Amino acid sequence: MADLLRSIAELDQHLVNDRDSLGIQSRHFDKFATALASDRCWFGALQGVNGFEDLRTALADRIHTYRAFMNFNIDRLPEPFATSKSAVHEPIGEAVELTSEDVGISWLPLYHDMGLIGAWLTLLHYGTPLCVMSPLAFLTRPERWLQAFHKHRGTIAAAPNFAYELCVRKIADKDIEGVDLSSWRAALNGAEPVNPETLERFERRFAKYGFRREAQLPVYGLAEASLAVTFPPINRGPLVDYVDRETFTAQGQAIPVPPDSNTIAFVSSGKAVANHEVRIVDNAGQDVSDRTEGFLWFRGPSATSGSYTARKSPTDGCDVVGRSVAVRRYS
For the stretch 252-277, pLDDT in tens is 999 999 988 889 999 999 998 888 88
SS3 54: helix
Confidence of residue 228 (pLDDT cuts 50, 70, 90): confident
The closest alpha carbon to 264, from 195, 202, 209, belongs to 195
Identify the CA nearest to 130 among candidates 110, 113, 208.
110
Alpha-carbon distances, residue 65 vs 49, 61, 83, 84, 306 (angstroms): 18, 8, 15, 12, 22
Residue at 162: amino acid letter: F
CA distances from 15 to 8, 23, 29 (A): 10, 8, 11
Least confident of 10-14, 68-72, 253-257: 10-14
Of residues 62, 73, 54, the one with CA closest to residue 117:
73
Instruction: Assign a CATH topology to domain 66-327.
Output: Rossmann fold (3.40.50)
Distance in angstroms (rounded) separating the CA atoms of residues 83 and 303: 6
What is this structure's pTM?
A: 0.74
For residue 257, give Cα distances in angstroms to 242, 243, 244, 262, 263: 6, 5, 6, 9, 7
Sign of the Cα pseudo-torsion (163, 256, 277, 323, in order): positive
Cβ distance 284 to 209 under 8 Å? no
Measuring CA to CA, which residue among 158, 164, 294, 292 is closest to residue 228? 158
Q: Does the structure show a pLDDT above 60 at 200?
A: yes
Helix 196-206 / helix 161-170 crossing angle, nearest 10 deg: 40
Q: Evaluate if residue 26 carries a pLDDT over 80.
A: no
2 versus 210: the higher-pLDDT residue is 210
Segments of the chain assigned to CATH 3.40.50.12780: 66-327
Instruction: Give whole-number Cα distances, 98 to 103, 113, 234, 255, 279, in Å.
Output: 9, 18, 11, 36, 27
Helices (H) and strands (E) in the chain, counts: 12, 18
Q: Which residue has the higher pLDDT, 331 or 292?
A: 292
User: If you compute the radius of gyration of the chain from its CA atoms, what whole number of angstroms results?
Assistant: 21
In this predicted structure, the answer to whether residue 297 has a pLDDT above a threshold of 80 is yes
Vertex 114 angle, CA 113 and 118, to 5°: 105
Exposed/middle/buried for residue 294 (C-beta within 10 Å: 0-12, 13-18, 19+):
middle
Q: Label residue 81 by pLDDT band (50, 70, 90).
A: low
H helix or E strand, kind and range, residue 188: strand 186-189
Q: Which of 71-80, 154-163, 166-175, 226-235 has the lowest mean pLDDT?
A: 71-80
According to the model, what pLDDT value does residue 139 have? Answer: 95
